[in-house]
Structure 1
């Protein structure tokens, strides 16, 4: 019976740490025309999915979004309040939730390798987030979806850098501290290059 509270405390701690990481990375902002800035927050989203997995990572995203809904300035550029949930970035925020689940599920499909890590971050952290963000941005801004998708190419170089950074951090953490990853079924042998 004593294991459950400790596990719950550890889980809550992980949720809070990754929510804080996502918030801090939101201070890295490059404004772009169209209302959707380039931010560091998606790096935090990728790391949450890679490290926390498909069950716990969405809780970190939900915590960030709940704090934003309460009006706290936790989103990129210090934004918060209910207004952000009707703006051009809302689709991307929904994509974060689905994206971390996809990342976590892809990481559970086999052995932990650097290429699986990079693929999971790319698919869940970029493709899934764009799949939700671009249509909603087009709807909110009234810009045709093809033009919105074209303008979103401005995000791609930065997102590829974030995929690389997330992969490097996750692989290094897996080598140095495998217990950070909640899924104990995956062997903790050294990560093949």
Structure 2
């Protein structure tokens, strides 16, 4: 139990720290950061429940006013923007990434983590972010896909690959540290 709490807190801190890396702000106003890779890593390494709890704790801390989002943003106001679907989708993204890791038995852990990051960290995240943007903006599906997804896909795919590489290397060095793979033979 104590280890779980520490790991959840550690990954919440990692997600926050990844928001400190230099950001690139698009014309639409949304920044491209490394933070989404934190949710991918949380799910891939911690598993579904712990990864989702790390992401949820991050979202709660942002809602409480801590300036943890890129550019030092935080507070309830960020949840009123058309981009808030990303914030609501972070826990789901970590959960689905972790679930894929837990359920996909055997195989190359790095490759599985990369695929899990694509399915959860990209697919599940946009499954929340795109409809939220459509409702909050309001916008059509075409505009939403063009504004919410298209500019971020190349970077998100790179983050998924990096997630796979990090998870695979960590598994090779210390298999027991990949909690999503506990009890799974490779």
Q: TM-score by structure 1 length?
A: 0.88
Higher Cα radius of gyration: 1
Matches within 5 A, 1:135-154: 135-151=131-147, 152-154=149-151
What residue number does 1:78 align with? 72
RMSD: 1.4
Which residue of 1 is the match for residue 2 of structure 2? 9
Aligned partners of 1:169, 1:142: CA distance in 2, in Å? 38
Among 43, 46, 49, the alignment partner of 2:43 is 49
Name the CA distance, whole Å, in 2 between partners of 1:136 and 1:112.
35
> Is 2:26 aligned against 1:23?
no
Check conservation: 2:19, 2:70, Cα contact below 8 A: yes
Counterpart of 1:105 in structure 2 is 99
Conserved 8 A contact 1:22-1:41: yes
Output the CA distance in 2 between the equivalents of 1:89 and 1:33: 14
Distance 2:182 2:100 in 1: 16
Q: What is the CA deviation profile of residues 96-150 of structure 1, one whole-angstrom value per residue up to 9, with x for unaligned ones?
A: 1111111111111211523322111101011111111112123222232211201
TM-superposition CA deviations, 1:37-86 (whole Å, max 9, x none)? 21111110100000000111111111111111111101121110011111
Instruction: State how many pairs are aligned.
Output: 181
Distance in 1 separating the partners of 2:64 and 2:82 = 19
Match of 1:37 in 2: 31
Is contact 2:63-2:75 (8 Å) kept?
Answer: yes
Larger deviation, residues 166-175 vs 152-161: 152-161
Q: Distance in 2 between matches of 1:112 and 1:93?
A: 32
Given that 1:30 and 1:37 are in contact with CA atoms closer than 8 Å, whether structure 2 keeps it comes out as yes
Moved more, 40-49 or 100-109: 100-109
- Picking from 178, 182, 185, the partner of 1:181 is 178
TM-score, normalised with respect to structure 2: 0.91
Equivalent pair of 2:97/2:121 in contact (CA under 8 Å): yes
Per-residue CA deviation, residues 138-170 of structure 1 (Å, 9 max, x unaligned), is 322223221120122110110111011101000
